[in-house]
Homo-oligomer: A and B are copies of this chain.
């Protein structure tokens, strides 16, 4: 036995993997998935295409992982603001909506890529997971609202999904036109969200 992986080589390996994943994310953030071929990623990471395949079993796996990570970051932000307690359900949803919008508008190309750009099936399934993630955050807030008597009972799953869809669709236009300075847009969507949630009529 004349070779064994050591800490240094292990670190180097992980670093290379990270560099590739980072390059892939950069590529998507800059030019969307349309621009993100394996060759382009490899070039950006300063490695050969074959090297990409030393670290990821396929392009689909690479981008699924990249999407998942970026998605998790977004989700964490929204989770943070929707779960802050000591506030009502509508307020929490509104805060989530606002965070969602601001994040998307801050990085329009990546925002568009995550929300709407055509992607291959493996990535699409990550996108569905992301949407479910957002939806579940809203569901949690809504159900708390129903529990506490703040909101009228309703189908939280559907309402939460509708909110997620509303934000996506309302943002796609501006995002694809790179109109990212829209304070008014955010306000409109927050308002929309607050309206959509029926306050309990205390008879």
Contacts and interface: CB of A to CB of B under 8 A. Distances in A.
Contacts of A196: 192, 195-196
A188 B185 CA distance: 25
Given A118-B118, A195-B197, A167 B170 contact: no
Given A118-B118, A155-B184, A195-B198, A161 B165 contact: no
A158 interface: yes
Contacts of A165: 165-170, 172
A35 interface: no
A63 B14 CA distance: 45
Interface string A143-182: 0000000000011001101111111111011000000000
Number of copies: 2
A163 B159 CA distance: 12
Nearest to A134: B169
A185 B189 CA distance: 23
**Is chain A's interface secondary structure helix, strand, loop, or mixed overall?**
helix
Contacts of A168: 165, 169
Nearest to A157: B173
A124 interface: yes
A159 B167 CA distance: 10
A92 interface: no
A131 interface: yes
A191 interface: yes
Contacts of A191: 154, 198
A89 to B, nearest CB: 14
A166 B197 CA distance: 13
Contacts of A169: 131, 161-162, 164-166, 168-169
